[in-house]
Structure 1
Amino acid sequence: MHDTGEVADRRAAVCVIGAGASGLAAIKNLREHGFAVDCYERETSVGGAWNWRHHRSPVYAGTRLVTSRARTEFPDFPMPDTWPDYPDHTRLLSYLERYCEHFGLAEHIWFGTEVVSVVPAGDGSWDVTTQSPGGGASHTQRYAAVVVANGHNWAPYLPEFPGADSYRGRLIHAAMCKDPAQLRGRRVLIVGGGNTGCDLAVAGAQHAAEVWHSTRRGHWYGPRYLAGRPVDQVQARLLRRRVPSPLRRWLYRRALRLVVGDLTRHGVAPPPHRPDLGHPVRNGQLAEYLHDGRIVAVPDIARFDAVGVTLADGRHIEPDLVVAATGYRPQFEFLAPELLDTDAEGRPDLHLHAFARQHPTLAVVGLLEPDAGLLPLAHWQSVAVARWLRLYATDRARAAQVQRRESTRAPRGWSGRRAGPAPRDWFAVESTRYLRALEDLLTRLEPA
Structure 2
Amino acid sequence: MHDSGEVADRHAAVCVIGAGASGLAAVKNLREHGFAVDCYERETSVGGAWNWRHDRSPVYAGTRLVTSRARTEFPDFPMPDTWPQYPDHTRVLSYLERYCAHFGLAEHIWFGTEVVSVVPAGDGSWDVTTQSPGGGASRVQRYAAVVVANGHNWAPYLPVFPGADDFRGRLIHASACKDPAQLRGRRVLVVGGGNTGCDLAVAAAQHATEVWHSTRRGYWYGPRYLAGRPVDQVLARRLPRRAAQWLYRRMLRLVVGDLTRAGVPVPDHRPFESHPVRNGELADYLYDGRIAAVPDVARFDARGVVLADDRHIEPDLVVAATGYRPRFEFLAPELLDTDAQGRPDLHLHAFARRHPTLAVVGLLQPDAGLFPLAHWQSVAVARWLRLYATDRDRAAQVQRRESTRPLRSWAPRRVVPTPRHWFEVESTRYLRVLEDLLSRLEPA
TM-score greater than 0.5 by the shorter chain: yes
Alignment of 1:34-433 (within 5 A): 34-236=34-236, 238-239=237-238, 243-416=239-412, 418-433=414-429
Structure 1 contact 212–298 (Cα < 8 Å) conserved: yes
Per-residue Cα deviation, 1:162-184 (whole angstroms, up to 9, x for no partner): 11111010000000000011000
8 Å CA contact 1:114, 1:130 repeated in 2: yes
TM-score with structure 2 length normalisation? 0.98
Which is further off, 138-147 or 438-447?
438-447
Q: What SS is found at the alignment partner of 1:434?
A: helix
CA displacement 1:124-165 (0-9 Å, x = unmatched): 000000000010000000000000000000000000001111
Q: What 5-or-longer segments of structure 2 have no aligned partner?
A: none
Mapped partners of 2:401, 2:270: distance in 1: 31
The one-letter code sitting in structure 2 at the alignment partner of 1:331 is R
**Inter-partner Cα distance in structure 2 for 1:446 and 1:7:** 34
Q: Quick one: distance in 2 between partners of 1:36 and 1:420?
A: 41
Q: CA deviation at 1:423?
A: 2.4
User: Which residue identity lines up with residue 381 of structure 1 in the other structure?
Assistant: Q
TM-aligned CA deviation for residue 315 of structure 1: 0.3
Task: Give the aligned residue type for 2:317.
Answer: L
- Give the superposition deviation at 1:274: 1.3
What RMSD in Å do the two structures reach over aligned CA positions? 0.9
Which secondary structure state, in structure 2, belongs to the residue aligned with residue 118 of structure 1? strand
Shift of 1:233: 0.5
Provide, for residues 390-431 of structure 1, a one-character-per-residue CA deviation record: whole Å limited to 9, x for no partner: 000011111111111111112211012534343221000000
* Change in CA separation of 1:296 and 1:44 when aligned onto 2, cut-off 3 Å: same
Q: What is the CA-CA distance between 1:211 and the residue it aligns to? A: 0.3
Match of 1:447 in 2: 443
- Conserved? CA contact 1:4–1:138, under 8 Å: no
* Partner Cα distance (1:411, 1:213) in 2: 35
Stretches of structure 1 that go unaligned for 5 or more consecutive residues are none
The one-letter code sitting in structure 2 at the alignment partner of 1:395 is D
- State the distance in 1 between where 2:48 and 2:417 align: 26
Given that 2:269 and 2:416 are in contact with CA atoms closer than 8 Å, whether structure 1 keeps it comes out as no
Deviations 1:257-276 (A, max 9, x none): 00000011111111111111
Partners of 1:244 and 1:409 lie apart in 2 by: 22
Q: Distance in 1 between matches of 2:351 and 2:77?
A: 25
What displacement does 1:79 show? 0.2
Report the residue type matching 2:188 in the other structure: V
Distance apart, 1:39 and its partner CA: 0.1
How far off is 1:277 after superposition? Answer: 1.4
SS at match of 2:98: helix
Aligned residues: 442
Distance apart, 1:5 and its partner CA: 2.0
Contact residue 202 and residue 286 of structure 1 kept, 8 A? yes
Aligned with 1:5: secondary structure?
Answer: coil
What SS does the corresponding residue of 1:116 show, helix, strand or coil?
A: strand
Maintained 8 Å contact 1:276/1:417: no
Residue type of the alignment partner of 1:293: G
**8 Å contact 2:153–2:323 — kept in the other structure?**
yes
TM-score, scaled to structure 1? 0.98
SS at match of 1:331: coil
Percent identity of paired positions between Structure 1 and Structure 2: 86
Q: 1:430 to 1:235 in 2, by over 3 A?
A: same
User: Is the CA contact (8 Å cut-off) linking 2:352 and 2:358 kept in structure 1?
Assistant: yes
**Corresponding residue for residue 14 of structure 1:** 14
Amino acid at match of 1:430: E
Q: Distance in 2 between matches of 1:371 and 1:272?
A: 19
d(CA) in 1 for partners of 2:258 and 2:97? 42
